[in-house]
Amino acid sequence: MARSPESQSIHDNMVGKVVTHLANKNFTGIQVDHLIGYQQPAKIIWKGQAEGHIPDVTTTGPQKLILEVETAETITETHTKDQWKLFAAHAVNIGGEFWAVIPSGHVSTVSMVIQDLGIAAKIWEM
């Protein structure tokens, strides 16, 4: 979905902070969507379908993580919910974890979305 310029700037800043944190914690195999110097994560698709989504950030070690960064503007969008369902299911399949990275002040909303979707997800509040 198209974000407003302000929301896109917030998103990109949050992605940068996630990547810096993971690198500082010695995570390996960091792949990032739309960040120069990093390989783009592979598109994740539902079995038997052609359409899918590319996560914002993934890692391969020491844990397999799939991280999707949201802004206040995108937390409750249908597109976001579709991504989260797919990424959470894929994380389970690969023995990893799915993390929703969100701006400060939105944990209760995100917790409700996660519960409504019935997915396993961790919340990283920035």
pLDDT at 52 (0 to 100)? 95
Show the tokens assigned to 25.
């914690």
CA distance readout (Å), 31 to 46, 48, 75, 106, 109 = 20, 25, 22, 26, 28
- Domain count along the chain: 1
Residue 1 banded pLDDT, cuts 50, 70, 90: low
Residue 3 banded pLDDT, cuts 50, 70, 90: confident
Residue 50 banded pLDDT, cuts 50, 70, 90: confident
Which CATH number goes with the domain that contains 23?
Answer: 3.40.1350
Which domain, by its residues, includes 27?
A: 5-125
Q: Is the pLDDT of residue 7 over 90?
A: no
- For residue 99, the SS3 value is strand
pLDDT digits (tens, 9 = 90+) for 69-101: 999 999 999 999 999 999 999 999 999 999 999
User: Distance between CA 102 and CA 110 in Å, rounded?
Assistant: 8
Q: Encode 46-65: b = buried (16+ Cβ within 10 Å), e = exposed.
A: eeeeeeebebbbbbeeeeeb
